[in-house]
Amino acid sequence: MVDAALAESAESGRRWFDAEMWRVRAELAGHAGSAGDDAQIVDAYQRAISVAREQGARAWELRAAVSLARHWAGRDRRQQARDLLAPVHARFSEGFETADLQDARALLGSLAIT
């Protein structure tokens, strides 16, 4: 379904949800997956982040960055996860009560270097 949604958005030019679709694709691959799928999972997350940045969609970028950071943290790549997520989170100046920003803050706290 995700592939169909991405194809439809490409055909129609209505691409506002592409970043989230790439993130969902990565999430589904991670749930289904084997260790060999890691490169595809990371690529889909990075595509989500890139599309969100191109569109200036900070909320979608944050959500994708949280997902990729969580993925990396689970693979003992905590510093890389923090380096990705911290600057994305830092660009927000409001909305800290939203679930996505609370999730990002909590994840950053768990990634703190002690």
Q: What does each C-alpha distance from 49 to 34, 58, 112 come to in angstroms?
A: 23, 9, 22
pLDDT at 59: 96
CA dihedral 85, 62, 72, 104 (to 10 degrees): 70
In total, how many domains does the chain have? 1
Q: Is the pLDDT of residue 6 over 80?
A: no
pLDDT of res. 16:
73
pTM of the model: 0.88
Domain interval for residue 9 = 2-110
pLDDT digits (tens, 9 = 90+) for 21-68: 999 999 998 887 655 589 999 999 999 999 999 999 999 999 999 999
SS3 47: helix
What is the structure's pLDDT at 4? 73
